Amino acid sequence: MNGCPFCPGLSDDPLENLIVGRVITGTEALLITPTLGPLTDDHLLIVPRAHIPSLGCLSDEGRHGAEVMASAVGAGRAESGRRIMFEHGMASEDSDGGCGIVHAHLHVVLVSPDVRVPPLPDACGAQWHVLPASGWAGCLPTGADYLLVADGDEAYLATGVRDVPSQYLRRWLGDALEVEWDWRARRSSLDCHGLVEYASNAGLSHR
């Protein structure tokens, strides 16, 4: 889609954007790429190839695929310890809730096991609900703005959020890690070559 900072890279357009030249691996529906302004050395995005506003808008098969891919990221990296995931999900491009970039992307952040993750942030006019540890992706709504947070075997969803600030969950986790959370202020990226191991862990081939 014209104007989307993810779509040109997903369609192999040579224009500069947030994806092009940095894709590690993927499937027909999903890609894994390092984020800009990573919160840790192991901070990736799972991005649908299709221009959709949230993972909740994927098909049942697509949502399951995203969960499987997220679970595989970092498998076997004992030093990382914990996997934190979060998404600002939007019902549409005109929604009040969600992220400033209207193309779905799930953050997967590997953190040291001794990191103390803070309590869930305010749910922006909604309430947090516990999701099943396995099958959480199937619970994501298709017609509502939402916040998703998962920490290890615990997953939480707040549906019907409103007026969510841009990078809301990045700031929540970044403050806990005591690092700069604003990717625009720190546009450095991770070294893709050092992360190709994620491809084999996820059962995927390098793109």
Kindly state whether residue 62 falls inside one of the protein's structural domains: yes
81, 78, 162: which is closest to 116 by C-alpha? 81
Kindly state whether residue 192 falls inside one of the protein's structural domains: yes
Low-confidence ranges of the chain (pLDDT < 50): 13-16, 192-196, 199-200, 206-207
Kindly state whether residue 206 falls inside one of the protein's structural domains: no
Determine the pLDDT at residue 194. Answer: 46
Going through 23-163 in order, the beta strands assigned E by DSSP cover: 25-26, 30-34, 43-48, 82-89, 106-111, 128-131, 146-151, 154-159
Alpha-helical runs (H) found in 43-117: 60-72
Q: What range defines the domain where residue 155 resides?
A: 7-201
Determine the pLDDT at residue 17. Answer: 54
Kindly state whether residue 182 falls inside one of the protein's structural domains: yes
Instruction: Give the single-character DSSP code of 36.
Output: B
Determine the pLDDT at residue 204. Answer: 55
Kindly state whether residue 31 falls inside one of the protein's structural domains: yes
Kindly state whether residue 76 falls inside one of the protein's structural domains: yes
The whole-angstrom separation of Cα 105 and Cα 6 is 9
Kindly state whether residue 2 falls inside one of the protein's structural domains: no
Kindly state whether residue 1 falls inside one of the protein's structural domains: no
Task: Report the number of distinct structural domains present in the chain.
Answer: 1
pLDDT in tens, 110-153: 888 888 888 999 999 999 999 998 999 999 999 899 999 998 88
- Where residue 101 sits, what CATH number does that domain have? 3.30.428.10
